[in-house]
Amino acid sequence: MNKQTRRELLQRLADASETDLDAAAIADHHRLRDDLGLGSLDAIMLLLDLEDHYDVDVTDDELAALDTVGSLLALVDSKRPTGSADPP
């Protein structure tokens, strides 16, 4: 994932968060629920947005297993269509 895509994903996450964190302050180790204040509905709305924007499909089990920002970024990156991979 290139830096621009990462920044874009973090901004989407910051926008969905109940906290006033700046996207630049969000780190991979932050927990989605405990650190960023994402409730169940917030997480679902974020995932719907990411699925639509990045053309990915996330199952209910995958959503339930997400706990950190890093796990969310890795999941979205791994699910992106082959032709949309970022250059190295």
Domains and CATH numbers, the chain: 3-81 (1.10.1200.10)
CB atoms within 10 A of CB 32: 21
The pLDDT confidence band at residue 86, using thresholds 50, 70 and 90, is low
Three-class DSSP category at 31: strand
pLDDT digits (tens, 9 = 90+) for 12-50: 999 888 778 889 999 999 999 999 988 888 888 888 998
Q: What is the pTM of this model?
A: 0.82
CB atoms within 10 A of CB 51: 14
- Res 85: pLDDT: 52
Query: Considering only CA atoms, which of 73, 56, 55, 86 is closest in space to residue 12?
Result: 73
- Res 43: pLDDT: 84
